[in-house]
A and B are shown apart, each in its own frame.
Chain A
């Protein structure tokens, strides 16, 4: 640390233990006057916990916080605000039914208990809007504002309280590219005035664009801090991937891959916020191959999977599975098997038994349904077979699925989706949150599907598993396919750079 630079914030050896999870492990971090510090890490790495400690929402188990070299105890957000810390949460903390201005002055004690001086507040608010070019109509109720404007409002709220240190948690996740540009402009203005910004993100491109230094957090501890202008893409890619990538490839027989199963042409689609999430996707997956989809989380992978199975409607283009045009939910597991990213929310029915979970897509067909009556004997026998075949650890097939461990829950989904021998398999984050043994068995099941002749689309943010299992790898960045590499001689640094949105320079 250079001596002449003023340190606004210093967090030393912050440790926070949650029941069962060590969220922050001896984290040290400092942010200097007038700089933008990027805080980079994947979901669940501990970024948000650390910032909640800074904002007084959590108390650290050990470690200390210094502001302007003075040790401080931040026991509440009110104290944090008093110390000049402003926070824009990922999920906004606005009161929907109040106007923009009312939201800003909410919680600030009025000078007189009888009179609320709105006109002064309004003037101050408008001058802040003007100054930072973040325009929000003060008299509009918050629920009418666009998501981007709600974010401006959160920032204005912090500035109204004269925050010297502003924490932005995933600010661009909800913004359009144009809005992001506007935000970056405001950030530069703020740092020019000597304010400091902590910019939390898991998106590399924007962190590299806007920050001065980057601290990378992984699994609750700091991997390292680098100067942005000295940071090389490959170094960041390595830090992002985390553990050293072992190039152990799964052994596989050669499959003649000629028959196209999944054909996507010029596909475009929006995300849940109606912003473009997929741009001109052209992709073909053949029978007997695994196509891996690499990319940092949130670059269109979820939307890609949902489009293919018909859960999300596309705004342009065509998707064919075999010769069938996808225009409704593909729920026939003998045709398409889909292992969704969020098994508890999408794939499983907690509250139904394991046996019932194994037939949620097939219950209408014989032999499970005869003359409008469900054949529970057959359903149970079917479950017994699959429990054995897929090695699902459960006392009986009649147990509620919520009693199984995460790995075995996933095996229930895998068994249901693969046992009918589908022509196309889509696995979306199929191994997230599983222990190594379960990860291994999911990989083996998918590889067996490939060898049987199924077309497999394997989506994962874990580069290592994509590289170990795929025949071909495509890389997604901001909703586009950045490029394709062969699975056998894939180069981490090439893929890593594509994940950051850089293509040609290295591909050559």
Chain B
């Protein structure tokens, strides 16, 4: 008799409402993050509205500003989507920083050579070299995680340090890459044929953001519509079940981590060929870790990575303007980024707890009914 209520159980959970809520979650989190940031700005004695207006101006106030945001977004897009696929499959690929360095080394070695080829070929060769270097670099932690059960967070972070200092060593004299007699250890200049084209005069806008957005769209489609993507999502929600369903779990984890490595390597190459023109030790200080924050904000969805990478880049670009115009320190932008990520996670956690309570309630009544039987 009471069974009627049970078969209708799913109606008691308004899942369409839940879905809308889960979509709004990052927005609520970002809003709360900005709100908390406003509080901190106010504490430092500046009107937060002025500060945020300066920030907005610095981010989208002029075509140059927008170009600046897009340049900053390029490595975040690629790195972010690399981490995001990992999140979707349940592994934390924190090695983007290291892959970027490995990629930069690869792109640098090819890039500084004077090759008698067309620029497009030189660029592609340099990028391929970057991806191969990063893949080889990423293979060690990926193999350890997939086949030896080593925690991937620890392994990839440690490899980051190795990559950074390897880069430093390579650009010191007497290594072949190093610029002789430079005041600061750096590599030789990238050959003109290997430089990425500039899309807008008076800015450093290179096509990196197009490659980044394309990568996000491609991996969205891969996750959504290919067997490989389906396996990845299966692994993310249920690793035990994936094995039971015949997924080669170890191989899949290895591949997902390697894809992250290749994307990270490409990001490093674009940064070198498009912006920095040289390889040196701190050429992307912290961008790889920022990619992790970008991916966290996106919840692992590659399309959302586009939005969150642009948001982070805008915060950074605008932060400089804010700092100049209002005197609020530029590190405030990093704080606001962190606050946004924390609030997005917190909102998500609160949401899960609420769902779990709903579920427990539904399950509770079910069990009582079973006891009645």
Chain B residues with CB under 8 Å of A369's CB are: 227
Complex contact B363–A437 (CB within 8 A) = no
Q: Which residues of B contact A247 (CB under 8 A)?
A: none
B236 interface contact, C-beta 8 A: yes
User: Given the complex of chains A and B, what is the CA–CA distance between A436 and B15 in angstroms?
Assistant: 27
State in angstroms the CA–CA spacing of A338 and B243 once bound together.
Answer: 13
Residues of B contacting A137 in the complex (Cβ-Cβ under 8 angstroms)? none
Known: A349-B234, A361-B246, A399-B15. A372 touches B227 (CB 8 A): yes
Cross-chain contact B373 with A435 (CB below 8 angstroms): yes
Closest Cβ–Cβ distance, residue B8 to chain A (whole Å): 8
Q: How many residues of B contact A (CB 8 A)?
A: 37
Alpha-carbon gap, A192 to B208, bound state (A): 80
B367 touches A360 (CB 8 A): no
- Inter-chain contact B371/A22, CB cutoff 8 Å: yes
Quick one: given A399-B15, A404-B10, are A21 and B230 in contact (CB under 8 Å)? no
Chain B residues with CB under 8 A of A338: 244
Return the 3 tightest CB-CB contacts between A and B, nearest first. A20-B364, A331-B246, A351-B237
| Contact status of A349 and B241, CB under 8 A, knowing A374-B227, A435-B370 | yes
User: B349 at the A/B interface (Cβ < 8 Å)?
Assistant: no
Task: Name the CB-closest residue of B to A376.
Answer: B225
Main secondary structure of the interface of B (DSSP, over half): helix
Interface membership of A348, Cβ < 8 A: yes
Task: Known A348-B238, A405-B10; judge A329-B244 contact (CB<8 A).
Answer: yes
In the complex, B172 has a CB within 8 A of chain A: no
Chain A 125-155 interface 0/1 with B at a Cβ cutoff of 8 Å (1 = within): 0000000000000000000000000000000
Q: Does B361 contact A (CB under 8 A)?
A: yes
A-B contact pairs, 28 of them (CB 8 A): A18-B364, A20-B363, A20-B365, A20-B368, A21-B367, A22-B368, A22-B371, A311-B244, A331-B246, A340-B244, A345-B238, A347-B244, A348-B238, A349-B238, A351-B236, A351-B238, A373-B225, A393-B7, A393-B10, A395-B11, A399-B15, A403-B10, A405-B6, A405-B9, A405-B10, A406-B363, A433-B370, A435-B6
Contact B13 A19 (CB under 8 A): no
Whether a CB of chain B sits under 8 angstroms from the CB of A356 is: yes
* Contact assessment for B366 and A350 in the assembled complex, using a CB-CB cutoff below 8 Å: no
List B residues at the A interface (Cβ < 8 Å): 3, 6-7, 9-11, 13, 15, 225-227, 230, 233-234, 236-238, 240-241, 243-246, 359-371, 373
Q: Please encode chain A, from 350 to 391, with 1 for each CB lying within 8 Å of some chain B CB and 0 for all others.
A: 111000100011011000010011101000000000000000
Q: Are A20 and B230 in contact (CB under 8 A)?
A: no
Say whether B246 contacts A399, CB under 8 Å.
no
Enumerate chain A residues within 8 angstroms of B361, measured Cβ to Cβ.
19-20
Is A346 a contact partner of B241 (Cβ separation < 8 A)? yes
On chain B, the residues within 8 Å of A364 by CB distance are 227
**In whole angstroms, how far apart are the Cα atoms of A406 and B370 in the complex?**
12
Q: Closest CB-CB distance, B91 to chain A, in whole Å?
A: 16
Give A161 Cβ to nearest chain B Cβ, in Å. Answer: 36
Checking B230, B360, B371 against A374 with a beta-carbon cut-off of 8 angstroms, the contacting residue is B230
- What residues of chain B lie closer than 8 Å to A363, measured between beta carbons? 227, 230
Number of interface residues of A (CB under 8 A): 45
Closest Cβ neighbor of A369 among chain B residues: B227
CA distance in complex: A346, B240 (Å): 6
Distance in angstroms from A362 CB to nearest chain B CB is 9
- Measured between beta carbons, the chain A residues less than 8 angstroms from B6 are 405, 435
Bound CA span A80–B364, Å: 30
Q: By the criterion CB–CB under 8 Å, are B237 and A360 in contact?
A: no
CA distance in complex: A18, B373 (Å): 19
Do A436 and B13 contact each other (CB < 8 Å), given the known contacts A332-B246, A361-B246?
A: no
Query: Which chain A residues border B246 with CB–CB below 8 Å?
Result: 329, 331-332, 361
Contact B241 A373 (CB under 8 A): no
Closest to B7 in A: A393
Which residue on A lies nearest to B364, using beta carbons?
A20
Interface residues of A in 437-496 (CB under 8 A from B): 437
Residues from chain A with a CB closer than 8 A to the CB of B367 are 20-21
A162 at the binding interface (Cβ < 8 Å) = no
Q: A346-B240, A351-B236, A435-B6 are in contact. Are A360 and B245 (CB under 8 A)?
A: yes
Structural contact, B369 and A435, CB atoms closer than 8 A? yes
Bound complex: CA A270 to CA B43 (Å): 63
- The residue that A373 contacts in the complex, of B226, B238, B363, B365, with Cβ under 8 A, is B226
Which residue on chain B has the smallest CB distance to residue A435? Answer: B370
Which residues of chain B come closer than 8 Å to A436, judged between CB atoms? Answer: 373
**A331 touching B238 by the CB < 8 A rule?**
no
- Interfacial chain B residues near A349, Cβ < 8 Å: 234, 237-238, 241
Residues in A with CB closer than 8 Å to B7 are 393, 405
A348 contacts B227, CB within 8 Å?
no
